[in-house]
Chains A and B, each alone.
Chain A
């Protein structure tokens, strides 16, 4: 019994940690611009596929990982500079539609240059599963959870202890006022895109050895990451992480204890309930009170 429960929990935590990282990316860009960036899933894809392709070209893994993150950051900054910034006078909805277009464009490029088939990455530290109280856990799952935890601590440090991070929070609260104290919102927005692209790419890389990767993984991961961000309260970093982990665990528990047929429905039913009764998400309210 305990073994079963733990197995579902591990499975849920692993997928949940990926959702959490994607959700964090949504939260950061939403904070800086109130735009929901639907190309977030494509950053995840660029991370995984970029690493696969560079390794296939003979680049050693650590360099390929750095290269793929850099590639995603370039794509993120380009999306901001070439599309979002040029349309900065537009309302939020056209900007969101621009990100949908960008996601289709990036997916098309990946399909054209990298092909349509699935690829896997080697696990960072071997495939030998660890046994814990009757359940098994892949070392790679620990990597996913560990990297997510480290990134979360680093982000907390960035937002609360550095000038750039505080500037980003200031812009999220009041753009005009922050401009008056000498913050350049355009630079902050670019920084937000670069940061969330890097986060997405890292999520794509650490999860690729478990989930496999292809040009279209971003569709599903982007959607689940968005659900995680909404569940936790849009714009809240802690909320996105907890929302992601909850979503992953709920899916695994539903598959294990209820029925694998209805597994995909459970998180969406729960998010409907959250939106009905807690429209600002689990942690959203606290975020707005911070002003």
Chain B
């Protein structure tokens, strides 16, 4: 009895001793790499920030279990901004000056990201944003990068598909919320690059419940070949239902703002036949086997869904891409010296992420091209590849 007890204590002591020795050994050799992040895990943008944080936490742990980056463990330092730009600025400052992080991967919304940009530029910290807005990387800022595709790319993808199908006069309808407004602006600014003319330009408010008047106007415009709706939330679902109600036969495009199952659920039967650009992650299993992006997106999807027991979203994918770009740049640089890491991030090329293949350069701190978007068509309530 006593003997057994002593044996147990001895074993425990031995294990602890080894563990302590191991730890002090590792830390004596190398400090951990400190990755800072600030995300909107609560608040109105929580459906973006929540999968982002879950993704970062899971994959940091995974990298650490596999031996870390260059033998160094990663330490994730996180603050919740609740989508508030003022808080984002405070937390970014804390990450830089008090937590002394080596690189920042975060910034769920364009607003929180833009608030932090002056700080990272002044303190010279590499920063990979997870927000969609074009102004983050246009014009290029030395220390700022981002992973999600922009609404300008979505507009280009749609216009390209329209041109390929021979439509030259289109009607535009857009929401007056932030997403729809920016989408409309980007569509108008790039439409000149295609042989397409916007012959009708209508809008609807974020809480409007009936858009038949706007759609009737578009349908009655001379020569209109197709209709494009740029919007977010329930508005596009109502537009789609109204479109069905009016019995319109024109080809109908939506933006990537509706790339969620909720849209199909709300629009019901009316959603069938709608085309939209979306990330490959949405149709991971349906990609052809020779698609170079297929292994990355199916692996991410499988791992996320089995870990957290909820369906994958493109937003978590942006965080995955950001973490991969940062860790691979640190690996290539062989150091966490900030200038070296920044240069290495800028030299990222051929990195296959969930959002597409990243090829960055001094003039391009996003590095994605239009192939990052897939043109999808909704058939029988399911996403199908249209190309």
Contacts and interface: CB of A to CB of B under 8 A. Distances in A.
* A, B bound: yes
B246 to A, nearest CB: 5
A10 to B, nearest CB: 8
Contacts of B216: 4, 7-8, 256
Interface string B216-236: 110010000000000001100
Nearest to B248: A136
Contact of A136 (B205, B237, B247): B247
Interface string B267-289: 01100000000000000000000
A217 B214 CA distance: 22
Give the interface size class of chain A. Answer: 20 to 34
B8 interface: no
B358 to A, nearest CB: 32
A212 B266 CA distance: 8
Contacts of B247: 129, 131, 136
A129 B210 CA distance: 15
B266 A252 contact: no
B213 A210 contact: no
A278 B176 CA distance: 33
Contacts, number: 77
B269 A210 contact: no
B53 interface: no
B210 A15 contact: yes
Contacts of A14: 210
Contacts of A7: 212-213, 216, 246
A168 to B, nearest CB: 31
Contact of A120 (B212, B213, B266): B266
A261 interface: yes
A248 to B, nearest CB: 9
Interface in A203-253: 207, 210-212, 214, 217, 219-220, 252-253
A207 B204 CA distance: 19
Nearest to A264: B205
Interface string A114-135: 0001111000000101010000
A210, A220, A255, A256 — most chain B CB neighbours (10 Å): A255
B272 to A, nearest CB: 13
Interface in A245-283: 252-253, 255-256, 260-261, 263-264
A251 B378 CA distance: 32
A103 to B, nearest CB: 16
B212, B220, B269 — most chain A CB neighbours (10 Å): B212
B311 interface: no
Contact of A210 (B204, B209, B265): B209
A131 B210 CA distance: 18
A255 B205 CA distance: 11
B245 A136 contact: yes
B207 interface: yes
Contacts of A33: none
A212 B234 contact: yes
Contacts of B266: 118-120, 212
A253 B214 CA distance: 10
Nearest to B204: A260
A260 B214 contact: yes
A37 interface: no
Contacts of B269: 127
Contacts of B262: 117-118
Contact of A214 (B205, B210, B234, B241): B234
B314 interface: no
Interface in A169-220: 207, 210-212, 214, 217, 219-220
B213 A212 contact: no
B170 interface: no
B213 A11 contact: yes
Given A210-B209, A264-B205, A120 B268 contact: yes
Contacts of B245: 129, 136, 138
B268 A211 contact: no
B237 A212 contact: yes
A210 B209 CA distance: 7
Nearest to B246: A136
Contacts of B124: none
Nearest to B233: A118
Nearest to B207: A220
B234 A118 contact: yes
Nearest to A140: B245
Interface in A9-43: 10-11, 14-15, 18
A4 B217 CA distance: 8
Interface of A: 4, 7-8, 10-11, 14-15, 18, 117-120, 127, 129, 131, 136, 138, 207, 210-212, 214, 217, 219-220, 252-253, 255-256, 260-261, 263-264
Given A7-B246, A11-B212, 4 more contacts: A11-B213, A118-B237, A120-B237, A212-B209
16 contacts: A4-B216, A7-B212, A11-B210, A15-B209, A15-B210, A18-B209, A118-B234, A120-B237, A129-B244, A136-B245, A136-B247, A210-B241, A219-B207, A256-B217, A260-B202, A260-B213
